[in-house]
Amino acid sequence: MAQNEKLAELSSAGVAVWLDDLSRDRIRSGNLQALVDEHSVVGVTTNPTIFAAAISGSDSYDDQVHAMAVRRVGVAEALRTITAADVRDACDLLAPVAERTGRDGRVSLEVSPDIAHDTDATAAEAAHLWWLVDRPNLFIKIPATQEGLAAITTSIARGISVNVTLIFSPERYRAVMDAYLSGLEQRLADDPEAGFEGIESVASFFVSRVDSEVDKRLDKAGADPALKGRAAVANARLAYQAYEEVFSSDRWKALAARGASPQRPLWASTGVKDPAYPDTLYVSELVAPDTVNTMPEKTLMAYADHGSLGTPVQKAYDEAAATMQAIRDAGVDLDDVFRVLEDEGVQKFADSWNELVESVRSELEDKA
């Protein structure tokens, strides 16, 4: 079946189109397959919020939950069994994409946000989830907290493909790239004959939340309204500039010569929060080779309907730097913005995780 022309054009420009959503209904109904066939979707991301909505809003999980309730399975085990089943099925559905592209066809499953500040626990859960789902086109999502960086290195060294999530600043992004390269180097140090086949990684740089926080502070500072709605795109463009620098370095070239794949930037949180902004803003203005854009279905369909390619990221570095400096000059403490966004991001996912736990607990009790 023919692909949507606008999304096919976006893909041809180097942007891998992923869907930021997953549910059992979406898989079973054929909706996910249709998005692959008609809307250039080549990957899927999930998070606790997505699973909480999926499980609480569908009866497709009833039989599985009933069976676990009869067996008196604990809440934690039931939760992982449910989410792993959906991710495994999505991996199987996307396996032909993975075989065709070698890089996409990936589905992400996140470690518990409750351990985002515990390095050892994060690395251990990443290994467990990798074993539990047991699919080569899986990504384990690890938050880019300070404590998460070492867990990223450990996981990559073990051959686990990682989606690093909750990145807000170019500075933290550089630390994430360093953690990835360190993991590849550690893998070779542990076993000089070890290869990198099948090891992939993406770094999820969050976009819309930056505008939400910066716009609020610009209003409070009485700054020029023309600065509003510009921070997120500028920030992401500077992140891509950092990506180009790191993945053209001699350090990277030595790993590439051994067969390593670069860690692609992934634009996350790309649905606009402010209705005053174009609904395709964080897609059209973040077009660059070897990137991923994971979109809520609403954003995906908006781009399919009226999206267009904006200014290529690589042609806007000077403008992006000037924009971020103007925002600083207006009195916005960007370092504090990024700290707040990371803390809030971890907390929001933790809240959703707890909601998900309670939803599964309730379902187990009802089906017992």
Per-residue confidence (pLDDT) for residue 263, from 0 to 100: 98
Per-residue confidence (pLDDT) for residue 368, from 0 to 100: 67
Number of folded domains that form the chain: 1
| Residue pLDDT, tens place only, 30-77 | 999 999 999 999 999 998 888 888 888 788 988 888 888 889 888 888
Per-residue confidence (pLDDT) for residue 350, from 0 to 100: 87
Per-residue confidence (pLDDT) for residue 225, from 0 to 100: 96
Radius of gyration of the chain (CA): 20
Q: Which domain holds residue 266?
A: 5-367
Which residues of the chain have a pLDDT value below 50? none
- Residues catalogued as catalytic: 141
Rounded Cα distance, 14 and 290, in Å: 5
Rounded Cα distance, 210 and 245, in Å: 23
3-class secondary-structure state, position 82: helix
Residue 267, strand partner residues = 205, 293
CATH of the domain at 189: 3.20.20.70
